[in-house]
């Protein structure tokens, strides 16, 4: 089954909104081995929509469209669908009920323009929407499937989980070949160094595919195999993974989209350890990463965003003389912050960050991107120096990732020396 995803919306074309929808759908389809060959984005324009429907319907088995199903005047996807499939609109009582319930739940009166959203193409199955007002549309014709969903991400996600994926799986009973993928998540090593460490890639892969996906917080390695049976595919995949780990295992912290904060959280939880965080320049970014993980209250005790020096002294008990002597951004202050947050929280580990994120704040001998990360537990109290770049947001991300990696390596006993 070959698929094409169309995203409709001027706001995507002009970059006002990120196309997270195509990514989400691509990921969901990859999981059930439906191959997305191409995705496209077009504007809220009748002629563009009609011509894209025509082209893509001809070339694919599955066409998924998002966007333009809302209640306002600029939403024209539904009318284009009606025209493309030469059908008409009829009222769905189920959808009308859903819409009324949504408004009731929010304690607001239902609007006429929302009631009009209960009109759906006659030849379609309705995909119910329990978190918003626009229903989704599922049409089967000429042995192909056409799906339209609202552009609001969480509404579309709910429809994918509850309706689209289960129904597609149902259609996909007998697959010829088994394709399987794994993604290894690495951090702390640049792409070209990782490439070199892996040696002869074609020998390593033996016909499989591998992509290097670099970002500011690490390089992801995606390996894809295509074999006759599920078992063959699994075996080949784990063979390749083992070879890679034997060559660059220390940099690999997880698989298949795992985040470093999840991995670190899991190790802390398994060992019954608690951590507290004192951040200066990252301003809460690291605490936010920790607490994005459900269940983090089991190991994340507290965070202090000690942005001004007063809070470093008052809350974290950093010595004022140390600040005067070495400066706020120094190995010594990082250590004292880690020691301080550990001691006031009564946790097993104290983790600290002090640095200069930019775009301003550099001084003689202390460039933008200079960061010290401190870690203290019962046995050690140490800090490590990093020099990142000049972009404030990227620096926050890189710094937080480095801090998490310091915790991971500390807990697993992996050294930073090559």
- Please give the residues from 256 up to 315 whose contact with its own copies meets the rule CB under 8 A: 257, 277, 279, 282-288, 290-292, 294-297, 300-308, 310-311, 314-315
Minimal distance in Å, beta carbon 149 to its own copies?
15
Burial class, 24, CB count within 10 angstroms (exposed 0-12 / middle 13-18 / buried 19+): middle
CA-nearest of 220, 198, 202 to 211 is 220
Closer of 48 and 270 to its own copies (Cβ): 48
If one asks whether residue 222 binds its own copies (CB under 8 A), the answer comes out as yes
Neighbours of 35 (CB within 10 A): 13
Do the beta carbons of residue 149 and residue 64 sit within 8 Å?
A: yes
If one asks whether residue 58 binds its own copies (CB under 8 A), the answer comes out as no
Segment 94 to 113, residues that bind its own copies, using CB under 8 A: 106, 108, 111, 113
If one asks whether residue 212 binds its own copies (CB under 8 A), the answer comes out as yes
Segment 62 to 91, residues that bind its own copies, using CB under 8 A: 70-74
Intra-chain end-to-end CA distance of the chain, in Å:
46
If one asks whether residue 39 binds its own copies (CB under 8 A), the answer comes out as yes
Minimal distance in Å, beta carbon 401 to its own copies?
14
If one asks whether residue 211 binds its own copies (CB under 8 A), the answer comes out as yes
Select the span of 15-23, 140-148, 321-329, 378-386 touching its own copies (CB under 8 A).
Answer: 15-23
Closer of 166 and 346 to its own copies (Cβ): 346
Do the beta carbons of residue 56 and residue 145 sit within 8 Å?
A: no
Query: In this chain, which of 76, 178, 182, 210 binds its own copies, going by CB under 8 A?
Result: 210
d(CA 311, CA 132): 44
Minimal distance in Å, beta carbon 13 to its own copies?
5
Minimal distance in Å, beta carbon 392 to its own copies?
6
Closer of 139 and 251 to its own copies (Cβ): 251
Minimal distance in Å, beta carbon 353 to its own copies?
12
Minimal distance in Å, beta carbon 327 to its own copies?
15
Q: Is the peptide bond before 359 cis (omega within 30 degrees of 0)?
A: yes
Minimal distance in Å, beta carbon 303 to its own copies?
3
Q: Judged by CB under 8 A, how many residues of this single chain contact its own copies?
A: 108
d(CA 341, CA 331): 16
d(CA 169, CA 297): 37
Closer of 121 and 132 to its own copies (Cβ): 132
CA distances from 229 to 175, 178, 221 (A): 10, 6, 23
Q: At what angle do helices 46-59 and 77-84 cross, to 10 degrees?
A: 50
If one asks whether residue 201 binds its own copies (CB under 8 A), the answer comes out as yes
Query: In this chain, which of 44, 227, 261, 339 binds its own copies, going by CB under 8 A?
Result: 44
Do the beta carbons of residue 376 and residue 338 sit within 8 Å?
A: yes
Segment 138 to 167, residues that bind its own copies, using CB under 8 A: 152, 154
Write out the DSSP string of 93-151.
HHHHHHHHHHHHHTT-PPPHHHHGGGEEETTPEEE--SSSSPPEEEEEETTEEEEEE-S
Phi, psi (rounded to 5 degrees) for 35: -90, 120
Closer of 29 and 264 to its own copies (Cβ): 29
């Amino acid at each position: 089954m070959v698929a094409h995803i169309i995203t409709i919306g001027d706001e995507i074309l002009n970059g006002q909104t990120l196309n997270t929808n195509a990514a989400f759908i691509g990921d969901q389809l990859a999981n059930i081995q439906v191959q997305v060959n191409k995705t496209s984005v077009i504007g809220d324009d009748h002629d563009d929509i009609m011509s894209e429907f025509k082209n893509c319907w001809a070339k694919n088995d599955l066409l998924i469209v998002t966007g333009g199903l809302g209640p306002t005047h600029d939403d024209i996807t539904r009318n284009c669908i009606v025209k493309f499939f030469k059908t008409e609109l009829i009222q769905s009582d189920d959808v009308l009920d859903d819409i009324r319930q949504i408004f009731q739940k929010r304690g607001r009166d239902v609007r006429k323009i929302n009631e009009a959203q209960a009109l759906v193409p006659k030849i379609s199955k309705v995909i119910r929407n329990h978190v918003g007002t626009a229903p989704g549309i599922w049409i089967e014709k000429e042995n192909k499937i056409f799906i339209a969903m609202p552009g609001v991400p969480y509404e579309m996600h709910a429809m994918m989980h509850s309706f689209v994926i289960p129904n597609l799986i149902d259609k996909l009973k007998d697959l010829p070949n088994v394709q399987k993928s794994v993604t290894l998540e690495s951090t702390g090593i640049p792409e070209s160094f990782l490439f070199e460490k892996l040696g002869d890639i074609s020998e390593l892969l033996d016909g499989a595919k591998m992509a290097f996906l670099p970002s500011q917080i690490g390089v992801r390695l995606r390996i894809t195999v295509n074999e006759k049976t599920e078992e063959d595919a699994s075996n080949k995949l784990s063979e390749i993974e083992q070879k890679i780990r034997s060559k660059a295992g220390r940099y690999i912290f997880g698989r298949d989209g795992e985040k470093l904060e999840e991995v670190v959280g899991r190790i802390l939880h398994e060992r019954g350890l608690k951590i507290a965080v004192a951040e200066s320049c990252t301003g809460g970014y690291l605490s936010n990463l920790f607490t994005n993980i459900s269940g983090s209250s089991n190991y994340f005790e507290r965070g202090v965003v000690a942005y001004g020096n007063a809070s470093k002294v008052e809350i974290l008990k950093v010595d004022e003389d140390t600040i005067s002597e070495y400066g706020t951004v120094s190995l010594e202050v990082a250590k004292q912050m880690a020691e301080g947050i550990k001691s006031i929280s009564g946790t097993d580990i104290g983790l600290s960050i002090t640095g200069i994120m930019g775009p301003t704040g550099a001084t003689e001998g202390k460039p933008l991107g200079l960061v010290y990360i401190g870690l203290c537990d019962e046995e050690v109290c140490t800090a490590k120096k990093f020099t990142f770049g000049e972009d404030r947001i990227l620096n926050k991300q890189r710094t937080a990732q480095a801090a998490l990696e310091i915790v991971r390596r500390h807990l697993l006993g992996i050294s930073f020396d090559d």
